[in-house]
Amino acid sequence: MRSGIEGKVMAERSYLQFIGGRPVEGGGGGSIERRSPSDGRLVARYADGTAGDVDLAVAAARTAFEEGPWPRLSGLERAAILNRLADLIRDNRDRLTRIEVEEVGKPIRFARGDIDGAVALTRYAASLAMQMAGTVHTNLGAGKTALITREPVGVAALVTPWNFPALILAQKVPFALAAGCTVVLKPSEFTSGSAFEIAALAVEAGIPAGAFNVVSGYGATVGDHLTAHPGIDFVSFTGSTRTGRRVVANTSTNLVKSSVELGGKSANIVFADADLDAAVDGALTGVFFNNGECCISGSRLFVHARVADGFIARIVERSKALRVGDPFDEATDIGALIDEGHLAKVTAMIAAGVDEGAALILGGRAPAGAPGHFCEPTIFDRVEPGMTIFREEIFGPVLSITRFDTVEEAVRLANDTAYGLANYVWSKDIETVLTVAARLKSGWVQANTAIDGAPQLPLTGVRGSGFGYEMGEAGFQEFTQLKTLLIRTGPRTPVFPAGAWPGPPSPADGRAASAI
């Protein structure tokens, strides 16, 4: 079945930087060519940004924050404009979907889901624009009142990865704007198209010039300069743990607050009393959704030994039926990986699994000679904690299976990782769900579902998965800061009553000047 979208050949798209509410030629003048990961076609060119472009964008965002209307609008006005942006993203669903498929290589039905998710996130963020309330203290003692107010944090620097370009943008940009911040966004150098498209839609929706700027380019140039920039007040980053560390180091230069959402190595724990049909489906979704290029991918499957053989056989059967190929085909389940280098990393991990003695029970090959970067759904059984595929984030369609006998063992295996983003539990027993969830070291736990979520629910990591919140009220509050105003309304008792200080020293009264 072909996509309803007319062909996949879109005219090649070219994007300038987007600064001060309009496209502008970058200082470097060069461009980054993006080739479709599924067939090698040139699909887009993005400006190859420079430090100068970042300076311009930060200056535009600063002016918009200090002098522009955006932070001064009422919450209701900001909400109305963000809702118009949500309408425009919805109206451009087909175009944005196609851009995500072309640039990321993900199957079209997942790309469409991303755009719908971006609309939902923008609407939810709009509702939060009206919720910027503070607190009042009136019991501080006679004649004292305090107001704790919430203010926008200022200019927010946002850095996004390539796996969900529009969706992760929508986890950050509308939340920042709802709070009254202005932003400079650096999208991934692989997938910048949707960011430029959405920034243009934001202007059409009524977001003032300079409130939403986009600078494309590489991490080592644009990303580094942006996250170390003295003109920013906050950094929200999503990407690898390695780059996250670098970004946090950058923010330390100017003591800027940050939120970093990094990688994961999530456990999907199936207890013997689970609804096994649902759990089979959840295991497949957990690891093969979005080609496995997903931070909350359930890439380590733990199955109770009592049900393991039958369960694993069913997963293998279902995985054999998955269709790998043209991401524009509605029937495709697994599209192309982001680029050649990433495919090489995934295949090296698969080779390490074989070398280290895991049992390869499905797939393992990347079809050679094809122009696209495809990888078969791959399943390893008998994976041990010491193996590379147990420990490293693979970020591809590769599942590692380990069997367990007791709850204790399942929890220990699940927590045996440097990461702590998400985990999944399958059991019909609510006591098992609650006790295991409480012991899992991760910011997210999902029970009897996989890769689920809603805009209201905050995503956060612990350990190597980072810190800070994305989405939910907590995600919105990241873009705000508190200000405490203490007001005395009654008479004040002096701390230094008049006449208590004997006055400045003088040699005449014998006090030494050095004693002051």
| From candidates 42, 140, 220, 359, binder to ligand TXE by CB under 6 A | 220
Hey, what amino acid is at 309?
A: D
Alpha-carbon torsion, ordered 26, 27, 29, 30, to 10 deg = -90
Does 42 engage in binding with ligand TXE (CB under 6 A)? Answer: no
Q: Which residue is nearest to ligand TXE (CB)?
A: 219
Buried b (16+ CB within 10 A) or exposed e, 265-276: bbbbbbbeebeb
Does 114 engage in binding with ligand TXE (CB under 6 A)? Answer: no
Q: How far is the CB of 325 from ligand TXE (least distance, A)?
A: 22
Of 55-63, 182-190, 301-309, 502-510, which segment contacts ligand TXE by CB under 6 A? 182-190
* Helix, coil or strand: residue 161: coil
Q: How far is the CB of 186 from ligand TXE (least distance, A)?
A: 6
Q: How far is the CB of 215 from ligand TXE (least distance, A)?
A: 11
If you ran DSSP here, which 8-state letter would residue 334 be given?
B
Which tokens belong to 158? 């946002």
Does 219 engage in binding with ligand TXE (CB under 6 A)? Answer: yes
Backbone angles phi, psi at 403, to 5 degrees: -95, 150
Which tokens belong to 349? 């991990």
Q: How far is the CB of 337 from ligand TXE (least distance, A)?
A: 9
Q: Please enumerate, as own/partner, the contacts of 432-438 that have beta carbons within 8 Å and a separation of 24 or more.
A: 432/271, 432/273, 432/407, 435/407, 436/269, 436/407, 436/410, 436/411
Does 295 engage in binding with ligand TXE (CB under 6 A)? Answer: yes
Does 344 engage in binding with ligand TXE (CB under 6 A)? Answer: no
Does 464 engage in binding with ligand TXE (CB under 6 A)? Answer: no
Does 262 engage in binding with ligand TXE (CB under 6 A)? Answer: yes
Cα gap 394→287, rounded to integer Å:
11
Asked if residue 309 lies in contact with residue 179, where contact means CB atoms within 8 angstroms, the answer is no
Q: How far is the CB of 302 from ligand TXE (least distance, A)?
A: 21
**First-to-last CA distance in the chain?**
87
22-24 and 17-19 beta bridge pairing = antiparallel
Asked if residue 313 lies in contact with residue 419, where contact means CB atoms within 8 angstroms, the answer is no
Q: How far is the CB of 466 from ligand TXE (least distance, A)?
A: 8
Of 56-64, 207-215, 256-264, 359-367, which segment contacts ligand TXE by CB under 6 A? 256-264
Cα gap 450→64, rounded to integer Å:
41
Asked if residue 250 lies in contact with residue 225, where contact means CB atoms within 8 angstroms, the answer is no
Q: How far is the CB of 461 from ligand TXE (least distance, A)?
A: 8
| From candidates 100, 189, 333, 478, binder to ligand TXE by CB under 6 A | 189
Widest distance between CA atoms in the chain: 102
Of 3-11, 110-118, 241-249, 476-484, which segment contacts ligand TXE by CB under 6 A? 241-249
When the beta carbons of 54 and 119 are compared against ligand TXE, the nearer one is 54
| From candidates 239, 353, 420, 455, binder to ligand TXE by CB under 6 A | 239
Q: Draw the binding track, 122-141, toward ligand TXE (x: CB under 6 A; -: no contact).
A: --------------------
| From candidates 13, 186, 229, 304, binder to ligand TXE by CB under 6 A | 186
Does 167 engage in binding with ligand TXE (CB under 6 A)? Answer: no
13-15 and 17-19 beta bridge pairing = unpaired
When the beta carbons of 48 and 86 are compared against ligand TXE, the nearer one is 48
When the beta carbons of 295 and 366 are compared against ligand TXE, the nearer one is 295
When the beta carbons of 162 and 271 are compared against ligand TXE, the nearer one is 162
Q: How far is the CB of 400 from ligand TXE (least distance, A)?
A: 15
When the beta carbons of 21 and 292 are compared against ligand TXE, the nearer one is 292
Say how many C-beta atoms besides its own lie within 10 A of residue 140's C-beta. 12
- According to the 3-state scheme, what is the secondary structure of 34-96? EECCCCCCEEEEEECCCHHHHHHHHHHHHHHHHCCCHHHCCHHHHHHHHHHHHHHHHHCHHHH
> What residues pair up with 149 in beta bridges, in sequence order?
483
| From candidates 163, 236, 259, 268, binder to ligand TXE by CB under 6 A | 163
- Residues carrying an active site annotation: 261
Cα gap 367→386, rounded to integer Å:
29
Q: How far is the CB of 120 from ligand TXE (least distance, A)?
A: 19
C-alpha to C-alpha distances, 415 to 160, 296, 419, 442, 451, nearest whole angstrom: 27, 15, 8, 8, 19
How many residues belong to the site for ligand TXE (CB under 6 A)? 27
Alpha-carbon torsion, ordered 300, 304, 305, 307, to 10 deg = -110
Of 71-79, 197-205, 255-263, 347-355, which segment contacts ligand TXE by CB under 6 A? 255-263
Hey, what amino acid is at 407?
A: V
Residues 372-401 that bind ligand TXE (CB under 6 A): 393, 395
| From candidates 122, 216, 227, 460, binder to ligand TXE by CB under 6 A | 227
- Contact residues toward ligand TXE (CB under 6 A) are 159-163, 186, 188-189, 218-220, 223-224, 227, 238-240, 243, 246-247, 261-263, 295, 342, 393, 395
